[in-house]
Amino acid sequence: MKKGNEIICCSSKEKVRIFLKGIVLLSAVGILFYNSWISILIGSPILILYYRFEYRKLVKKKTEELTDHFKEALLSILSALKAGYSVENAFVEAYRDLEYRFGAEKVMVKELLFINRQVKNNIPIERLIEDFGQKSGSADIKDFAHIFRIAKKSGGDMGKIMDRTISIISRRMEMQEEIRMMVTAKKYEQQIMNFVPLGIILYIRVTNQGYFDPLYHNPAGIVIVTAALAVYLGAYYLSERILEIA
């Protein structure tokens, strides 16, 4: 069975955007801190670290979107079950609902379509849901898949079981969403603060040309600037890790 978030991927356009953003930032740091194009070439390996870091952030964002859409799918499935649909047909209704609301290109919509097609090929739906949970990388989806498999095998009242399960998981998702909303403002503040040092250096260079010349192109200046840059990058990384709780 597949593991990890294998269904979460980034398009070529998104990957190129991350790479270009990294080049712009590296160029800005090279010119502002060292006033040298050579420093950009020397620091180019940092682009690999930056790319991996930003790629993980993008995957996390997409996983959060998948989890949000999964919650909407659960609510749609529950409504269909209460209306008298079978479990399999409830998933068909959930697919139609989410396709209309979010579009056919969303990951959750594609997975629902895949599940419905595989069910028509006589593959047990509980097995498909469990596989989806493993591929998604989302703890909430994995928990639902585990409970769904047990409920399906027990042969109990799926409507009541699903109602209670979906209510519990939905409440937990709503709490997570509230935490994310509370931290969103701090994330915006962090993004602004990350660029403040670069903005200050740019402002001084434009308004007081030659102010930083003693720091450029000499060993002592390079050491001082590199130390300052290391502190800046360390603060940036630390702020990102602190806000990862959301």
Distance CA 86, CA 90 (A): 6
Scan for tokens 């990951």, then name that residue: 107
CA pseudo-torsion sign 131, 102, 181, 189: positive
Instruction: Write out the two tokens for 45.
Output: 């390996």
**Mean of pLDDT over the chain:** 84
pTM for the whole structure: 0.76
pLDDT at 108: 92
Contacts of 69 (CB under 8 A, 6+ apart): 98, 102, 106, 107, 108, 109
Contacts of range 129-132, beta carbons closer than 8 Å, 24 or more positions apart: 130/1, 131/1, 131/2, 132/7
- pLDDT tens string 30-68: 888 888 888 888 888 888 988 998 898 888 888 888 888
Distance CA 118, CA 124 (A): 8
pLDDT of 181 > 80? The answer is no
Distance CA 172, CA 185 (A): 22
